[in-house]
Amino acid sequence: MGANITWFIMQIIYAHKNEYFIHFRGSRYMQSIFMQVIERFTNIYNHELGEQKGSHDHLWTEYVIENSEQDWPGNNMKVCKAIGCDLVSYFYRNLLPRFRTILNDIIYDIYPMFRSIDVNFKKTIAVHLRLDDIVNRMPYDGIHSTEYYREKLNRDQINIDLEDERLFFEKRGIAIPGWGREYSPYDCQAPIPENIVQKYIDQAKERYPDHEVVIVTSPISNHTLPYRTISGNPDIDLLVMANADVLILSKSSFSFVSLYFSEATEVFIPMWGHIAGAGLTSKYDNNKKFTYLY
């Protein structure tokens, strides 16, 4: 779900920058209010763009997406270079207010259950744990995969393939076993050990001592961190993270969705290569409220 929603956001950013119409063909996650926000935004955006241009005809199509071995970060890098800044800061500056308005309208009009979430968002540190189906993956330090994508962006060299990345790690004395198109053990969604998560929480609590810590994770995930846990409905999980005053992400594309929708005072981001592909930590990074963690 996270990869799917952020995939759409990436394309919307590219279209918005170039004043292109958006061809929205739906998603298997249309039950999510966040995907419904994307659909409603696309309809409004296309209408307003047509009025601005004096024509609603979609005369031609540019296929932005390239299917490659590392298509999610690779296409994010392509868009990052094209717009001249990281994707998140572009989204905040140009799209977030409209997206938040649509989100609030949908919640008010259609989903009153989401208006009664028992969380004081202004005094909350939301912490996402990515576990369940990847719980058995090896935890890893994201410094090298982040470096790989950052160097590519800093040189404006957007050419990623698995062999290229394997050689990058090999030069640093790291062998990549079990390589597959969507799974590299040093550049993938993966759990973060609880003792490391606790260090992140301690760092946030030093700055925000009066905030409550709330863990957000899937209902089939188990952890021993001594904090209140919210789990169940994915939309509620995203709403808690997107509305929290302080946000601690995981190594996951799901938590990256909440980053796009977030109005947090500060966000703590455990870095891994895919996220760096969106321009974070590179020369294109324009964010001021992010603390990067390794």
pTM given for the model: 0.93
78: left (phi over 0), alpha (psi -120 to 50) or beta: alpha
Residue 75 burial (C-beta neighbours within 10 Å; 0-12, 13-18, 19+): buried
Going along the chain from its start, the domains and CATH numbers come out as: 2-112 (no CATH), 119-293 (3.40.50)
Task: Tell me the pLDDT tens digit for each residue of 103-141.
Answer: 999 988 877 777 778 999 999 999 999 977 778 888 999
- Mean pLDDT (the chain, rounded): 90
Cβ-proximal residues to 118 (8 Å cutoff; 6+ apart), any chain: none
Comparison of pLDDT for 46 and 137, the residue scoring more = 46
